């Protein structure tokens, strides 16, 4: 049985691949993007099964209107995929106030407002599913990506709490956590102004690795999308879905280290209780 999907950030990368895969198997898709004309060929090929809408996630009123129109025109949306976002690259003090504000407005506030806008419609139709595209960077951190991580750690906390809020209404969530994947993500990085004082630091090492191509990328975009679709089709999907060996290994190591540090603090933690 075919499904109807709403996918943000569908002009390129994982969003574009997912849109193509779903249309090819006969599903309907509402695809949002910021640039006109990018999906014209797909629109001509698939006709009414593809609805293309313009959306900038920093426009909260626009998010609400696009979501409302999507449900109204499609009748029902089974899966909402919050995919749009980008990376801000640089050590914390290398970034401008404007860059920080835009990163948070897009990746964090925009994703929150998209989910908030979809929830009343999903409740009214008796349930549905939301896929929030996060990153392995929602559970671990690399130097030079502090603001990107702030948004991904933030959206994961929001989703984990909201999933508990709305589970009684038949609405469930998947947090997709890809590792470094062969998409246009690196090309789309917004960069702070490099400071020479960071050249000999971990931030400088990551900057050089990205610049010279030695930052290892193991993830396959097509296989990542296939795994996300399979999870969204599953009867009981996981709340978190690690995608790629780098994500699996990195998240496992980060969680083990955090658990080890927590266990070492047991006596101190308990000492803070009321007698």
Residues catalogued as catalytic: 134, 148, 152
Contact 134, 177 (CB under 8 A): yes
Burial class (CB in 10 A: 0-12, 13-18, 19+), 186: middle
In degrees, to the nearest 5, what angle opens at C-alpha 12 toward C-alphas 114 and 8? 10
Phi, psi of 18 (to 5 degrees): -65, -45
Instruction: Check the CA dihedral 115-118-123-125 and report its sign.
Output: negative
Contact 185, 13 (CB under 8 A): yes
β-pairing, 88-89 vs 240-243, is unpaired
Q: What is the dihedral of CA 115, 123, 173, 51, to 10 degrees?
A: -60
Token pair for residue 215? 């930052």
Neighbours of 275 (CB within 10 A): 2
Contact 80, 182 (CB under 8 A): no
- What is the C-alpha to C-alpha distance for residues 116 and 50, in angstroms, rounded to an integer? 23
Token pair for residue 124? 């009214």
Question: What is residue 219's three-state secondary structure?
Answer: strand
Chain CA centroid to CA 267, Å: 37
User: What are the DSSP calls for 175-198, one per residue?
Assistant: EEEE-SBSSSTTTT-EE----GGG
């Amino acid at each position: 049985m075919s499904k109807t999907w709403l996918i943000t950030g569908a002009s390129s990368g994982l969003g574009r691949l997912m849109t193509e895969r779903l249309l090819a198997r006969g599903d309907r898709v509402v695809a949002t993007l910021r640039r006109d004309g990018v999906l014209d060929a797909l629109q001509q090929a698939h006709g009414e099964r593809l609805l293309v809408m313009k959306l900038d996630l920093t426009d909260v009123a626009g998010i609400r209107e696009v979501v409302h129109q999507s449900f109204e025109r499609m009748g029902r949306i089974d899966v909402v995929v919050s995919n749009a976002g980008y990376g801000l690259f640089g050590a914390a003090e290398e970034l401008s106030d404007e860059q920080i504000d835009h990163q948070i407005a897009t990746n964090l506030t925009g994703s929150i407002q998209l989910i908030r806008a979809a929830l009343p419609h999903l409740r009214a139709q008796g349930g549905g599913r939301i896929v929030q595209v996060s990153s392995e960077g929602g559970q671990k951190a690399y130097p030079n990506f502090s603001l990107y991580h702030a948004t991904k750690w933030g959206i994961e906390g929001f989703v984990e709490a909201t999933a508990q809020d709305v589970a009684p209404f038949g609405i469930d969530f998947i947090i997709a956590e890809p590792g470094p994947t062969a998409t246009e993500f690196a090309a789309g990085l917004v960069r702070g102004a490099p400071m020479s004082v960071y050249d000999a630091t971990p931030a400088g090492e990551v900057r050089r690795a990205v610049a010279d191509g030695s930052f290892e990328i193991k993830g396959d975009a097509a296989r990542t999308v296939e795994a996300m679709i399979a999870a969204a089709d599953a009867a009981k999907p996981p709340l978190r879905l690690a995608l790629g060996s780098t994500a699996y290994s990195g998240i496992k190591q980060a969680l083990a280290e955090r658990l080890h540090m927590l266990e070492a603090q047991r006596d101190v933690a308990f000492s803070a209780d009321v007698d």
